[in-house]
Structure 1
Amino acid sequence: MKNLCLIPLLLLVFNVFGQDLEGAWKLTYLNGDKVTEEESVKIFQDGYFAFGTKKADTTNHFIGAGGGTYALEGEQAYSETFDFYTTDPEKVGTSVGYNLDFVDAKMVLSYTKKGHNVIEIWEKISDRDDELNGTWVITGRKRDGELHTMTPGARRTIKILGGGRFQWIAFNSETKEFSGTGGGNYTAQNGKYTEYIEFFSRDDSRVGASLGFDYAVKDGAWHHSGLSSKGDPIYEIWSNYREAYLEKQEEQ
């Protein structure tokens, strides 16, 4: 496998346009070395991506996260524009270009970092689809029985679901401030939504816990209700991220 990483990308036989990025991916090799000490999972959904990285040991210590919009810009050309990046906030608002290809159903990303060539190999975990697959932004919350709506701005909380994985992120893309993130596996069936936490930036000890909620999709919005991790009742409304935020930004 290490030799595979060193093959020039022009020799790779699969074309990116014949592949589907959407779903969840795990970083398996970095510059020919198998990734064993850390676990990085990246979700692609509806033109948005997010990743979370933690220690691959019993501590489950959170290391970092990043995400934003992505674009395919031609054969083997791919770019990411960051909304948040915990280990290097100065990347927020900037775009990074990559060469992107596929070999043996694995995603190969290559780029230059500080004058050095970097090759990442990602393996798809799942492309499972359900009615909650998508990128969402919170637009409403009940307080004392009264629904309060909110308009997403520079400070926003999003949740991306794809390939059976979820990740939520709270950040401010204007100040580059990061407030928190968490993610893992989820199930969504018959109006019951359950999250199984695999990383949490605010408290590593929450890893392994599960939280169950009721859900319904009404007029394209996700209604999410139940009890928080602290036992407090919650009722939230999540809207399609592109419609509620991106398209409004494009109109300005």
Structure 2
Amino acid sequence: MKKIFILLVCTLLSVAVKAQSFIGAWEMYHTTPLGEKLKSVVIFADGYQVLTTYDAETGRFMAANGGTWKLEGDTMTEKVEFDTDNPERVGSEVSFKVTNDGKVFSIVGENMEMKRIDDGTPGALQGAWLMSGRMRDGNEETRDTSGPRKTMKILSGTRFQWIAYNTETKQFSGTGGGTYTTIDGKYTENIEFFSRDNSRVGASLPFDYELVNGKWHHKGLSSAGAPIHEVWSIREK
């Protein structure tokens, strides 16, 4: 009877993890031994994820890692595509047990509890996107997205993050992120961290956005003030 009960509990836990979606954004606050208040945010899109830690008060970038993910029962497996702290991990796979009650998810055996920020709504651009081209003089200049050099942007319903990296050389070129809104054709980014230039933290950048044949056209001025018209495609692999 005891064995049947234990088996039933394990089965129910496995079903509970499957029933709760990880899609969306999650956060955790923690304090270093030096008293620094840090914020960690993870964004899960379909098949892809990014985890970033930054100073909760100043926005100073600390670390980021991410890549692909899949869930089998209560086991999550990630394949690392970038890791600022340990680039030698790029290309490796790591598996761990997780729990998820819909509001909080944690890694079993780790001191890590992430509270849900959103479930992939209400923003109109939720997903993992790869920069696939630019518009110049009315023509689209395409960019190969199948190679090792990637610029990926992952969005939940309220959070965004772009990451530039190379899976072959394991080089990490930069990242930035924060919150976003999509209202009446306007996509607005509110920067909370920026690895290349911390002075851009706090900036609010409005862009025009349009979905054309499934591609995201992103038009406006970059954080450096340069005009841009980027084309992004949903990441397939």
Instruction: Report the TM-score range of the alignment, normalised by the length of the smaller protein.
Output: 0.7 to 0.9
- Return the offset for 1:156: 1.0
Task: Give the conservation status (yes or no) of the 8 Å contact 2:66–2:80.
Answer: yes
Counterpart CA distance in 1 for 2:102 and 2:196 is: 37
Quickly say closer, same or farther: Cα 1:29–1:198, change in 2 above 3 A.
closer
Counterpart CA distance in 1 for 2:101 and 2:18 is: 13
2:28 equivalent to 1:27: yes
From 72, 93, 96, the equivalent of 2:94 is 96
Quickly say closer, same or farther: Cα 1:104–1:181, change in 2 above 3 A.
closer
Could you tell me which runs of 5 or more consecutive residues in structure 1 were left unpaired when the two chains were aligned: 1-8, 111-116, 247-252
Q: Match of 2:188?
A: 194
- Return the offset for 1:142: 2.8
Q: Deviations over 1:71-127 (max 9, x none)?
A: 1122x11111111010100111111111111247310112xxxxxx52311100112
2:19 equivalent to 1:18: yes
Q: Match of 2:69?
A: 70
2:236 equivalent to 1:233: no
Report the TM-score when normalising by structure 2: 0.87
From 157, 168, 190, the equivalent of 2:151 is 157
Q: Match of 2:161?
A: 167
Counterpart CA distance in 1 for 2:189 and 2:47 is: 23
What amino acid is the match of 1:73?
A: E
Quickly say closer, same or farther: Cα 1:103–1:230, change in 2 above 3 A.
closer
Counterpart CA distance in 1 for 2:220 and 2:151 is: 18
Q: Match of 1:53?
A: 53
Counterpart CA distance in 2 for 1:228 and 1:45 is: 24
- Return the offset for 1:51: 1.7
What amino acid is the match of 1:50?
A: V
Alpha carbon RMSD of aligned pairs, Å? 2.3
Q: For residue 16 of structure 1, give the secondary structure of its aligned residue in structure 2.
A: helix
Counterpart CA distance in 2 for 1:220 and 1:129 is: 18
2:149 equivalent to 1:148: no
From 195, 202, 205, the equivalent of 1:208 is 202
Q: Match of 2:132?
A: 139
What amino acid is the match of 1:79?
A: T
- Return the offset for 1:145: 5.5
Q: Match of 1:86?
A: 84
Q: Deviations over 1:147-167 (max 9, x none)?
A: 311111100101011131000
What is the count of residue pairs matched by the alignment?
223
Q: Deviations over 1:18-42 (max 9, x none)?
A: 2010010002479xxxx97210000
Counterpart CA distance in 2 for 1:146 and 1:77 is: 45
Task: Give the conservation status (yes or no) of the 8 Å contact 1:29–1:121.
Answer: no
Task: Give the conservation status (yes or no) of the 8 Å contact 1:141–1:147.
Answer: yes
- Return the offset for 1:228: 1.3
Q: Match of 1:37?
A: 37
Task: Give the conservation status (yes or no) of the 8 Å contact 1:52–1:183.
Answer: no
% same residue:
47
Q: Match of 1:114?
A: none
Quickly say closer, same or farther: Cα 1:23–1:36, change in 2 above 3 A.
farther
Could you tell me which runs of 5 or more consecutive residues in structure 2 were left unpaired when the two chains were aligned: 1-8
2:103 equivalent to 1:118: no
What amino acid is the match of 1:17?
A: K
Counterpart CA distance in 2 for 1:62 and 1:222 is: 27
Report the TM-score when normalising by structure 1: 0.82
Q: For residue 25 of structure 1, give the secondary structure of its aligned residue in structure 2.
A: strand
Counterpart CA distance in 2 for 1:37 and 1:228 is: 29
Counterpart CA distance in 1 for 2:29 and 2:107 is: 12
Task: Give the conservation status (yes or no) of the 8 Å contact 2:26–2:42.
Answer: yes
Task: Give the conservation status (yes or no) of the 8 Å contact 2:27–2:115.
Answer: yes
